[in-house]
Amino acid sequence: MQQKSVHLETIVEGMKSIQTAISTALEDLDGRGRFNSDHWVRPSGGGGCSKIMLEGDLIAKGGVNFSHVHGPMPERIANGLGLTPGVEFHATGVSIVLHAKNPFVPIIHMNVRYFQTSGGKHWFGGGIDATPIYIQKGEAVSFHQLLKSVCDRFPSHSYLKYKTWADRYFYLKHREETRGIGGIFFDHLAADDEPTKQMNWEFVQEVAAAFVPAYESLAQPNRLKAYGERELEWQALRRSRYVEFNLLWDKGTRFGLDSDGRTESILMSMPPEAKWVYNHNPLPDSPEADTLLHLKPTDWLGLETKHGLEKAYPTRN
Amino acid sequence: MQQKSVHLETIVEGMKSIQTAISTALEDLDGRGRFNSDHWVRPSGGGGCSKIMLEGDLIAKGGVNFSHVHGPMPERIANGLGLTPGVEFHATGVSIVLHAKNPFVPIIHMNVRYFQTSGGKHWFGGGIDATPIYIQKGEAVSFHQLLKSVCDRFPSHSYLKYKTWADRYFYLKHREETRGIGGIFFDHLAADDEPTKQMNWEFVQEVAAAFVPAYESLAQPNRLKAYGERELEWQALRRSRYVEFNLLWDKGTRFGLDSDGRTESILMSMPPEAKWVYNHNPLPDSPEADTLLHLKPTDWLGLETKHGLEKAYPTRN
């Protein structure tokens, strides 16, 4: 780890590199789909570049978005963060959501972000989580092992802490279900002194570097599996829950809209299609019913009991 | 108008009657579809009855919901209303959303509600608004004329006030578009003294009585119109905007979820199906493009200019 100082410009360029590296690797993985870039300017400062893939071989709809927005902080955001409205802020990051064509391939999401204000606050945040349409235990375990291996390389970062944070964050209170199998989520990672900032920036970059391998391990064994109307119907139902989470509860979506981000870029996270079926209940003992049973915070790696940690079961209130 | 006192029980029974009258009339109008009733109990007090119609001849998915919830006020709601958490409250009302099969039939929404607290606050609220997939000016004018005729029967209720309120309320800030052609919206109608309470309760009942005629005038001329893939695609896109409004901005949806209402009843407002197409732009000079041009607060009856009122054009901030 080099002990050079990490400037805002370094982080912004680093975020752009993350976007380029991941979008290139995803094109290779997809084989057919290509990302189209849309550059946008935010009237009150900054802008971004959205890379969108539509109707690929693997990816039905996916976005890899970079943004760097700055200017005086909008009031609603300042209030939410306990900061003074009007203070100058910079927010930069990469957000990814991939909706696969095949219902056996999970939806995946990654975000890495950096935030600073002229009042001297700086922090990193981010995470990776997966939302299978059909949950398979072995797959969930491998996914979490990979995320754990990233955290384990850093003495000051804890997989268990970030995993339970994801369980709490990616939770649909109104459905009493998790969004999927979770992953890791972290926020407000300090960047106040140079060594800490350097180390946390390394960590965020390592999380981003784990994204494509994580998605490959979820996508490759499943992308050619046969499916029919039943699986597509279930996919459309699960996608409606994804919509509900993002529009009702996701703070990133809310931040984007409240900070006058580009709506089409923020809502690239929406699935190509979703269905709402009133009072839907899957057949007993079906793979669909089994998936619902797994939509709760789950100790995939058997670590929480071992460490005597209390599990994070969020309740509705 | 009888000068008898209006008790909570009278209003609750009145709301149930509204549900029954409207659901019966809608079954007649549909001709094939029938409402199924789901009764639900709210653990902390009260409950409701959802009447849901699926795959009717006219209505693809529709809900006519009655609820009466009470108990100590949940904190998030108390904070939003500037009331003390824990104060006893009663909320009762009827909510309706109808998604038609034919893309030429608008989505329609009605809500009438009454709210009281043990601290001595009582008020009525409600409204009717329509969201055509294809906006036709003449239809919008007739719809607004009908709503105006209801308001005009009451010296203390103003169509113009409630119409501009609807324009501000049913607004997708992030899209800079109205949800549809608007309608009327009102809230916090006083119920503090008996004559005012009596009059406002009469008004709310008259609004409810206007619902079926209003929907008939939108549905009957359009329900048999021919349509194809193009119109269904546009319907699915407009339905996704409906989802965005209800989950991102609608206070009624938020109130329902925050007060532990039944999720399936609250989210009956979701369309059967929705599509998100990245950066969709309709063909120039098409009926779809024409509809987008009308998605702004519009002086359908030519009254706002005449009365010298400032138009209510909400902006994003």
Q: What is the pLDDT of residues A68-119, one digit of tens each?
A: 999 998 888 888 778 888 889 999 999 999 999 999 999 999 999 999 998 8
Query: ipTM higher than 0.90?
Result: yes
pLDDT tens string B203-232: 999 999 999 999 999 999 999 999 999 999
Residues forming a β-bridge with A95:
A65, A111
User: By the 8 A CB rule, do B199 and B124 touch?
Assistant: no
**Catalytic site residue from B70, B90, B99, B109:** B109
Whether the pLDDT of residue A1 is over 50: the answer is no
Q: Which fold has domain A8-306?
A: oxygen-dependent coproporphyrinogen oxidase (3.40.1500)
CB A209 within 8 A of CB A172: no
Q: Does residue A275 sit at the B interface (CB-CB below 8 Å)?
A: yes
Is A109 marked active-site? Answer: yes
Averaged pLDDT of chain A: 93
The reply to whether A243 touches chain B by the CB within 8 Å rule is yes
A236: contact with B, CB 8 A cutoff: yes
What are residue B112's DSSP bridge partners? B94, B126
The pTM score is 0.94
Task: Tell me the domain boundaries of chain A.
Answer: 8-306
Interchain contact, A273 vs B236, CB within 8 Å:
yes
Alpha-carbon gap, residue B170 to B180, rounded angstroms? 8
CA distance A46 to chain B (A): 18
pLDDT digits (tens, 9 = 90+) for A253-295: 998 898 888 999 999 999 999 999 999 999 999 999 999 999 9
Angle at B213 between CA B209 and CA B215, to 5 degrees: 110
Can you point out the beta strands (E) in B191-305? Answer: 273-275
CB proximity list for B155: less than 8 A, separation 6 or greater:
none
> CA distances (Å), B137 to each of A62, B288, B300, in order?
37, 14, 8
Q: Two tokens at B289?
A: 């493009």
CA angle B123, B127, B133 (to 5 degrees): 155
Which three-class secondary structure state does DSSP give residue A157?
Answer: coil
Give the mean model confidence (pLDDT) for residues B274-284.
96
In contact, A271 and A61? CB cutoff 8 Å: yes
